[in-house]
Chain A
Amino acid sequence: MRLHNAQMLFKQPRKVSFVGIKVEDPDRVEEVRRRIEEGFPEVFVSMAADFAEGAVDIKVTRSMTWAITMLAIIVSGVGMTNTMVMTVFERTQEIGVLRALGWRKSRVLGMILRESIVLSLASGLMGVVGGVVLGQVLNAMPGVAGFIRLSFSPVLFTRALVIALVLGAGGGLYPAWHASCLQPLEALRYE
């Protein structure tokens, strides 16, 4: 690919972000490095060996990112379950009334599960919008701009919403089951 085309593709006209230098005499690599650093202090020079080590760091960073993501998902799931458990507790009398009026266990279970899914989908949507907005804001900040390269895609958004949906369904399952098992009379007497 021509340099000009690459600059247009990455939206960095008249800029060069990386120059690879092949030194014919391997023994002179350090000397070449020193001369570039002296002549161009603003340029960061690294050896191929250093880069190889950096690639490992990139892998570690990527793994840590996934670990943090998984932790966030687990915490969200637990938070979802906790929210719905508290909701069921607060509405125990209400659930007792519904059962006394003839609602079956399955209808109560479906109601709580639907609420959980709607809540998590709404939260997922807010998270997606918030993430986009926050990314744009961070990218516009002087100290941060350039370090973050935003990349959005329908696949990414869909994945986020599916995860939210799964968390809602999974997190709401136990509270929904618990609500459906409440005995009408005990639930009516609950204070």
Chain B
Amino acid sequence: MSENAIVETRDLTKIYGDGAEVRALDGVNLVVREGEFLTVMGPSGSGKSTLLHLIGALDRPTSGQVIVQGQDLTQVRDLDRFRSRTVGFVFQLHNLIPTLTAQENVEIPMHEGRLSRRARRKRAGELLAVVGLAERVDFLPNQLSGGERQRVAIARALANEPAIILADEPTGNLDSVSGAELMRTLRRLNQTQGTTIIVVSHDPKVARATDRRITLQDGRIVDDHRVGAELIEDLRELAHTRLGELLRQGRAEDIMAQLGLKVDGREPLTGEEWRQVLEELV
């Protein structure tokens, strides 16, 4: 396994159907390093959710390997235990249990552990505070907004201190403001706790909030780059509109270096930094 890799796929293939075969994934080789925050993008049917499901042990590949924290999932018998201890899921529809409070929903994954009821309750309260919902612990899902429900889902995903959070279109059912807030929450978790987060989304704004963007098409990776580098492309595009000679001279990298912004490292460009770059250029 590659150094510092927390997830590695080798020739990962998933084929559905006996008659007319559908190759959802076709020989995908991917390495995700510990602490990365990345987006998997692609058109509908490109295999992005399938990739997430295989990494999260919700499904088994047709061929190839999925290695998570050194474990080859094709050899693991007890996938329930693996999911409980290693992975936290955030779904597009929050999938909260409607008859349970926010706190009780967050406690759900902990039932498979050895925590006492009191300890579970305490930890659930702490996790809800981390996502900014300390005042909502006793609220039912129908008393929460869409964004709040997704934050409860994030808190639930963190319940067993997983190594990886897998989020499948987490902002898909949210308005832009709530979606941005949710991505900020995930970003904060990634930065403060070092949790590896893989997000599946078709929204470029989601990708901009992460460190790395992988694009799938027809079950294959067609693009894999750091988001900082993408901003360089945006700056170059701006040169074709109004910003003129400075950018055409290729000085965009110099400007970003002057601002202390790395483009190949792990530090992302936040919205505020992007604004600074634009102000400098304009």
Chain A contacts to B: CB under 8 angstroms:
93-94, 97-105, 107, 184-185, 188
Contacts and interface: CB of A to CB of B under 8 A. Distances in A.
A105 B79 CA distance: 11
The 8 closest A-B pairs by CB, nearest first: A102-B84, A97-B95, A102-B83, A101-B109, A185-B58, A104-B80, A102-B112, A185-B59
Contacts of A101: 83-84, 89, 108-109, 156
Contacts of A97: 91, 95, 97
Given A97-B97, A107-B111, A102 B80 contact: yes
Nearest to A103: B112
A99 B78 CA distance: 12
Contacts of A94: 95, 97
B236 interface: no
B136 interface: no
Contacts of B160: 102
Given A93-B95, A185-B53, A107 B112 contact: yes
Interface in B72-94: 80-81, 83-85, 89, 91
13 contacts: A98-B108, A100-B91, A101-B83, A101-B89, A101-B109, A101-B156, A102-B112, A103-B111, A104-B81, A105-B80, A184-B58, A185-B58, A188-B91
Nearest to A108: B80
A156 to B, nearest CB: 35
B89 A100 contact: yes
B156 A102 contact: no
A101 B56 CA distance: 10
A117 B206 CA distance: 47
Chain B interface secondary structure, helix, strand, loop or mixed? helix
B140 to A, nearest CB: 15
Contact of A99 (B59, B80, B91, B156): B80
**Which range contains the number of B residues in contact with the other chain?**
10 to 19
Contacts of B83: 100-102
A99 B156 CA distance: 14
Interface string B100-125: 00000000110110000000000000
B263 to A, nearest CB: 37
Interface of B: 53, 56, 58-59, 80-81, 83-85, 89, 91, 95, 97, 108-109, 111-112, 156, 160
A101 to B, nearest CB: 5
Nearest to B78: A104
Nearest to A106: B80
A136 B192 CA distance: 69
A179 to B, nearest CB: 14
Contacts of B97: 94, 97
Given A101-B108, A102-B109, 15 more contacts: A100-B58, A100-B83, A101-B83, A101-B109, A102-B80, A102-B81, A102-B84, A103-B80, A103-B112, A107-B111, A107-B112, A185-B53, A185-B59, A188-B58, A188-B95
A184 B53 CA distance: 10
B59 A102 contact: no
Contacts of B156: 101
Contacts of A107: 111-112
A185 B80 CA distance: 12
B95 A104 contact: no
- Most-contacted residue by chain B among A93, A101, A104, A107 (CB, 10 A): A101
B112 A104 contact: yes
Contacts of A102: 80-81, 83-85, 109, 112, 160
B127 to A, nearest CB: 14
A188 B83 CA distance: 15
Which among B53, B84, B91, B95 has the highest number of chain A CB atoms within 10 Å? B95
Nearest to A104: B80
Q: Which of A98, A99, A100, A102 has the most CB of B within 10 A?
A: A102
Contacts of A105: 80
Contacts of A93: 95
A104 B109 CA distance: 11
A102 B110 CA distance: 9
B198 to A, nearest CB: 15
Contacts of B91: 97, 100, 188
